[in-house]
Amino acid sequence: MNNHIRYWRRRRGMTQAELGQRLGLGKATVSKLERGDLRLRDVTIAKLVEVLEVPAGELLGDYAAAPDTANTDSADSDRASREAPAAEPSPPQADFGFRSVAASDKAALVRDVFSRVASRYDLMNDLMSAGVHRLWKAAMIDWLRPRPGMRLLDVAGGTGDIAFRIHQRLGPGRAWVAVCDANREMLAVGRDRALDRGLLAGLDWVAGDAEALPFADASIDAYTIAFGLRNVTRPERALAEARRVLRPGGRFLCLEFSHVAPPGLAAAYDAYSFRLLPLLGEIVAGDRAAYEYLVESIRRFPDQKRLAAMMTAAGLDRVAWRDLSGGIAALHSGWRL
């Protein structure tokens, strides 16, 4: 079975022995992993992603189904490595709705979508969810239980909805909230809304990438992200960044559209999503394609259990989730301990 472990090890300038030392494995075992002769355990996948700094999908190829044939001689494996260098993999791909695009292109495509809908984004949230997103966000703040003096980071929150709710709960200026978003048009909408509401103290507006946050290690008490993680090119990197910036004892909360459990509700939700929402996008925001992408991105996003597993692989502890509205949305929680 093919995988890209050897390619990425070499890209990172590591020998098999060095990679094995980082993984807690012998050189011969690393050689077998690179040839696809061993089935990977989840914990090994997580370590490889962390050490090589490569998303699992780009790293593994069709390797996940590789059989376990652990009796290959290590000398043969080293010779095979020398005689048959790994082929260059295809450029890493990422989902953009139902399309597969070069991973390097996705961030720009997503920015373009949100630049086009920024001025109508909050109105469309109301129309898309019939106003229920307000209840979901209130549930997020309830579970967060912000306290005065906290340092909070809201990622992909450009229009300020979560930040405003935190200040509403505590009182203006009683906590510091940084709103970080990759899209400057969304941030501009949020800043304008803050000025209109007189919310100036305790709010910072930061242009930044969820995969490379411009914040120091262990500097944040709580990290929130609402309806943003599915738009990130490499969610696993964003989760690792969330853990990096959180202080020990810090909290991670993600509110995201998820996978509906009741079959009857799922069928009705699919019909509503694929037929009505793009039409609303065309009528209200003048952009049907943007809302077709948003609907498709929801279907491509990992379900509740898979997202919880990704959070655990990123080093977050006490991971749990709550389904909202039958799983139309889900609220995931984790801690840096």
Q: For the chain, give the mean pLDDT.
A: 83
Q: Is the dihedral of CA 284, 285, 286, 289 positive or negative?
A: negative
The pLDDT of residue 267: 81
Q: In Å, what is the CA distance from 206 to each residue of 158, 199, 270, 337?
A: 9, 16, 35, 27
Q: Which tokens is 309 given?
A: 């597993």
Kindly state the greatest CA–CA separation across the chain: 70
pLDDT digits (tens, 9 = 90+) for 219-276: 999 999 999 999 899 999 999 999 999 999 999 999 999 988 777 788 888 887 888 8
5-90 — its CATH code? 1.10.260.40
Structure token digits, residue 237? 């990197």
Q: Percent of the chain beyond pLDDT 90?
A: 42
pLDDT tens digits for range 44-56: 777 787 788 776 6
Element (H, E) at 221: strand 220-226
Burial class of 113 by CB neighbour count within 10 A (0 to 12, 13 to 18, 19+) = buried
Average pLDDT over every residue of 160-189: 92
- Which of 74-83, 183-192, 275-284, 316-325 reaches the highest mean pLDDT? 316-325
Q: Note the CATH number of domain 101-336.
A: 3.40.50.150
Residue 290: what pLDDT?
Answer: 80
DSSP letter for each residue of 168-182: HHH-TTSSEEEEEES
Percentage of the chain lying above the pLDDT 70 cut: 86
- Strand partners of residue 180: 155, 206
- CA 111 to CA 185: how far, in whole Å? 9
Assign 122 a pLDDT band (cuts: 50, 70, 90): confident
pLDDT higher at 130 or 28: 28
Kindly report the backbone phi and psi dihedral angles of residue 314, in degrees, each rounded to the nearest multiple of 5, phi listed first. Answer: -80, -5
Residue 22 above 80 pLDDT? yes
Give the predicted TM-score (pTM) of the model.
Answer: 0.70
Q: What integer pLDDT is reported at residue 29 of this predicted model? A: 85
Tokens coding 169: 């709960």
Q: Does 101-336 match 5-90 at the fold level? A: no
Question: CA 34, CA 58: separation in Å to the nearest integer?
Answer: 14
- Domain-wise residue ranges, the chain: 5-90, 101-336
pLDDT category, 113, cuts 50, 70, 90?
Answer: confident
252 DSSP β-pair partners: 223, 334
| Position 91 confidence tier, pLDDT thresholds 50, 70, 90 | low
pLDDT of residue 214: 95
